[in-house]
Amino acid sequence: MELNRSQLSLLITLFSMAIVVLSLYNIRLGAEEVEEYVIEMALDPELFEEPEPEPETQQELQPSERIKSHLAYNQTMKPSVGNPEPLKTLEELMAEQETEAEGENGEATDDGFANSLAEMRKKRQQAQEKYGEKTAETLERMNTVNKNTSISYSLVDRYHTRLPVPIYTCQVGGKVVVNITVDATGRVIDASINEKSSTSLNGCLTENAVAYAFKSSFQSSTKASQIGTITYLFQGK
């Protein structure tokens, strides 16, 4: 089909008008204002607050807090089901010390000791006189001092029957190891400082350690004498 000149002109005119109409429509749409909707959301401010850190425990804040209860134990003994050895707290040891101190005046001396131990007993007496026995007034004054001392001992196959805890006024702390010799009745007849194993040789600490080592006693044994050690761990003030 062939179009004549007038038909082509009509088609061109129609297309031109259609383009103009579409252009005007697009311009009108672009000129219209677009409505905006603003939505306000109320958020809880507590949701954005950082959680407060949990307070540290007293143990974390004070890692160097001193020991308030101390246990005396034999380092050579292993726990057993049939014959366990109960550990004594500091308060129990102090009560035991006071009870035994009341009965010291009524204890009779044993004349059946072997003559071979006479010299060692004499040495023990001299050491006691050197370091001095604490009077009741001194003990009452020193009882107000914080009892920061831990004790352990090493004596094969024997438990302690009396192990006084030193109550001291020293400003320094440290570990003092005392070499002891125990007779058949369980009494300490010789005591000296083990300088190699001790961490402190302060005179105040060593004098207290030796003095209280002589006051200690252990179970009786068939051995005429036995060597061991007592370790005192003094907490500095």
Instruction: Determine what percent of the chain is predicted with pLDDT higher than 70.
Output: 49
* Residue (of 168, 159, 177, 171) closest to 220 by Cα position: 159
* Residue (of 123, 218, 228) closest to 177 by Cα position: 228
What pLDDT does residue 141 have?
40
Res. 37: pLDDT tops 90 = no
**Between residues 38 and 79, which one has the greater pLDDT?**
38
* Residue (of 201, 26, 17) closest to 9 by Cα position: 17
CB count, 10 Å around CB of 70?
20
> What mean pLDDT do residues 18-47 have?
70
Res. 168: pLDDT tops 50 = yes
For 116, residues 6+ apart whose C-beta sits below 8 A from its C-beta are: 224
Tell me the whole-structure pTM to 2 decimals.
Answer: 0.45
Q: Which two tokens stand for residue 109?
A: 């001396």
* Residue (of 149, 134, 116, 127) closest to 193 by Cα position: 127
The DSSP string of 32-55 is: SPPP---------GGGGSPPPPPP
Q: Report pLDDT digits (tens) over 173-198.
A: 889 999 999 999 999 999 999 999 99
Q: Which residue has the tokens 């072997």?
A: 114
Q: Which two tokens stand for residue 94?
A: 């102090």
Q: Report pLDDT digits (tens) over 94-144.
A: 666 666 665 554 444 455 556 656 777 777 676 666 555 444 344 334 443
Res. 91: pLDDT tops 80 = no
Cα separation, 130 vs 134, whole angstroms: 12
What pLDDT does residue 26 have?
82
How far is CA 7 from its chain centroid? 109
What pLDDT does residue 5 have?
78
* Residue (of 173, 112, 125) closest to 148 by Cα position: 173
Give the type of residue at 21. Answer: V
Q: Phi/psi class of residue 138: alpha, beta or left (left: φ > 0; alpha: ψ in -120 to 50)?
A: alpha
Burial call 136-147: b when 16+ CB within 10 Å, e when fewer: eeeeeeeeeeeb
Q: Report pLDDT digits (tens) over 121-134.
A: 777 676 666 555 44
What pLDDT does residue 58 have?
45
**Between residues 179 and 57, which one has the greater pLDDT?**
179
Cα separation, 22 vs 132, whole angstroms: 121
CB count, 10 Å around CB of 202?
17
Q: How high is the mean pLDDT of the chain?
A: 71
What pLDDT does residue 101 have?
61
pLDDT-derived band of residue 63, with 50, 70 and 90 as boundaries? Answer: very low
What pLDDT does residue 33 have?
53
How far is CA 25 from its chain centroid? 86
- CATH architecture under which domain 67-102+115-234 falls: 2-Layer Sandwich (3.30)
